[in-house]
């Protein structure tokens, strides 16, 4: 579940041209995958871990809200109010359906419940450590323990019912 970057994203992070990135890939300096895009053209995709350390650090600095630090579940365990942790990925269709619902609920219940999002691609270790096997997965922590968990998309009314016991 590692983040895969397009050549344009990799070149921007590394501060080099896309041509240079492709040459590095062809020479073996960067690992890559070739994927056929929607126009049925080959597209280079680069695992984030194959980029130089400085480029990886830049990626995490730019994606800080989406790539929460590994301490997020431990923060949820120490929180003084219930915490909803949403594990998602940008390629996940059900995640895209669930995200606006959770954003609305965060606005409605934000004073009583913490809401955090964890990009499972950017934080594979966190997701693995928490036993996340599918996306989206939502865990609700209270008093340091996961008290509820669900996987897949749910309508807002179902999630509201789950949250009512924590309000």
Q: What tokens does 60 get?
A: 């995490």
Write down the H helix ranges in 15-154. Answer: 18-27, 53-62, 72-78, 93-109, 124-129
CA neighbor of 112 nearest in space, from 88, 154, 84, 148: 84
Catalytic residue among 89, 92, 101, 127: 92
Active site residue 104: no
30 a catalytic residue: no
- List 3, 95, 122, 138, catalytic entry: 95
In the DSSP assignment, the letter for residue 49 is G
Task: For 156, list phi and psi in degrees, rounded to 5.
Answer: -55, -40
Residues with active-site annotation: 92, 95
């Amino acid at each position: 579940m590692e983040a895969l970057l397009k050549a344009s994203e990799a070149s921007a992070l590394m501060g080099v041209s896309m041509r240079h990135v492709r040459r590095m890939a062809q020479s073996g300096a960067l690992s890559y995958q070739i994927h056929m895009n929607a126009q049925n053209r080959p597209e280079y995709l680069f695992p984030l871990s194959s980029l130089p350390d400085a480029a990886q650090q830049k990626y995490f600095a730019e994606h800080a809200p989406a790539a929460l630090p590994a301490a997020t579940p431990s923060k949820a365990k120490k929180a003084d109010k219930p915490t909803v942790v949403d594990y998602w990925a940008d390629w996940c269709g059900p995640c895209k359906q669930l995200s606006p619902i959770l954003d609305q609920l965060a606005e409605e219940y934000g004073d009583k419940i913490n809401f955090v999002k964890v990009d499972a691609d950017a934080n594979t270790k966190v997701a693995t450590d928490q036993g996340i096997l599918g996306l989206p997965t939502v865990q609700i922590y209270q008093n340091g323990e996961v008290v509820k968990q669900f996987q897949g998309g749910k309508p807002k009314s179902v999630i509201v019912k789950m949250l009512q016991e924590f309000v």
